[in-house]
Amino acid sequence: MQQLSSRSTFKKKLAFTALLLFILHYFLPFFLARENRISSEISCGMTTLGLMFTLLLSLPPLLLLLYAFIKSEWLSEILLSLAGTLGLLLPFVVLATVGPNVVTELGPFARYSPTSGMYVYLIAVVVIFLMKPRMRIYDYVGLLVVLAVVVYVGSQGSYSQLGIFMEAKNFGSRLSREVLAHIRITAISLAISIVIGLPLALFSYQSQRLRKLVFPLLNILQTIPGIALFGLLIAPLAALSQAFPQLRAWGIKGIGNTPAIIALSMYALYPIIRYSFTAFTSLDEDVILAARGMGMNSRQIWFTVRFPLAMAGVLHGIRVALVQTIGNATLAKLIGGDGLGVLVFEGLGQASVDMVMLGMLLIIALTVAADRIFQVLINFFTPIPLRGKEALHD
């Protein structure tokens, strides 16, 4: 019975899904090779990989099959970890070994990039990790080993012909400039929306009349599609910079980063005001009553009760706004702005999947990093007894 309950039907479904994905990957190309960045692609599947590598890649699904027959609790968990870690490591190793071999025959500008088969394979690996009840120390050690091996293989030059690295090389110093521009656009937009949003949230909390004005407006703003809002700002800003040439010197004009920053901060207002407002209204009224009843004046109630208790919720709103803004900042390129959108949209224009991929991966990395940093910050500002309750704000 113990065994039955510990291996729930949910886990069985996950295992089944992972196996299906593994099987599916055999029928898809594992990576693509091109003579140059825009020439047509050559799909490389099982036949290109050869028997040995195909068998090697079949190790994790075999371990997963074995897992189904193991009764021992700890052994089956180790088996899962092994399958997951190998599943993460093998595709990168195989890619680094087979990829360059294929590409060298195609000439100096040839490149290769992972495609559907490898992605499906990696998703199956993620599903394996989801089956684990918790991440253990040896899992983290395994991940570190994978990272170390991949970095080592990379340092030997095996990935230098990988599509996204070729693209990154082409961009050169422009790449870091666009990353910094992306960060700058996000930071300025977020700062503006915090400066406007927090006071608005506070005043809405205090005044019913303002509340009735602010929230309907926010809701309307939120329903305008991003690109439309960007476009809407072009005309008034262009007119403004015509009328006051001084503004133009400061970079305020119809196209470029300014309208993008304005639009992005308008979007970020919604989560910031919503979350902060909720953080203040969901404060326990009895705590406030007790504070008043004990003779705290209103300044003391704000600074020792309301602010500390609402802080986590407010930061949570800023975090949501931040993640959202990093993503939306990609659109800045559409009205002549900078940022990683340049890579994505130029890549789309040139039909270069690798370039789009490079942009997307960098945006994802930025988002994840910002999110992590903010979680640490939120935890730091949350009063000790209230920690670990972030789910309440979601």
- SS3 percent helix, strand, coil of the chain, rounded to 5, is 80, 5, 20
How far, CA to CA in Å, does 254 sit from each of 40, 92, 257?
A: 39, 46, 9
Binder to another protein among 295, 376, 388, 394 (CB under 8 A)?
295
Binder to another protein among 52, 144, 145, 290 (CB under 8 A)?
290
Helices 163-171 and 353-381: angle between axes, nearest 10 degrees? 80
388 binds another protein (CB under 8 A): no
73 binds another protein (CB under 8 A): no
- The residue among 179 and 305 lying less far from another protein, judged by its C-beta, is 305
384 binds another protein (CB under 8 A): yes
386 binds another protein (CB under 8 A): yes
231 binds another protein (CB under 8 A): no
Site stretch for another protein (CB under 8 A), options 114-122, 188-196, 226-234, 280-288: 280-288
CB of 298 to another protein, least distance (A): 10
281 binds another protein (CB under 8 A): no
Contact residues for 326 (Cβ-Cβ < 8 A; gap 6+): 182, 186, 363, 366, 367, 370
Binder to another protein among 305, 315, 322, 355 (CB under 8 A)?
305
Determine the Cα–Cα distance for residues 133 and 8; give it in Å rounded to an integer: 11
CB of 297 to another protein, least distance (A): 5
- φ, ψ of residue 299 to 5 degrees: the values are -65, -45
284 binds another protein (CB under 8 A): yes
Quick check: 231 and 336 in contact, CB under 8 A? no
Determine the Cα–Cα distance for residues 176 and 91; give it in Å rounded to an integer: 28
Site stretch for another protein (CB under 8 A), options 112-120, 165-173, 254-262, 378-386: 378-386
294 binds another protein (CB under 8 A): yes
Quick check: 75 and 101 in contact, CB under 8 A? no
Determine the Cα–Cα distance for residues 215 and 220; give it in Å rounded to an integer: 9
CB of 379 to another protein, least distance (A): 14
Strand order in the sheet with 31-34: 42-44, 31-34, 111-114
CB of 394 to another protein, least distance (A): 20
- The residue among 250 and 303 lying less far from another protein, judged by its C-beta, is 303
Determine the Cα–Cα distance for residues 137 and 12; give it in Å rounded to an integer: 24
Chain residues binding another protein by CB under 8 A are 284, 286-297, 300, 304-305, 308-309, 383-386
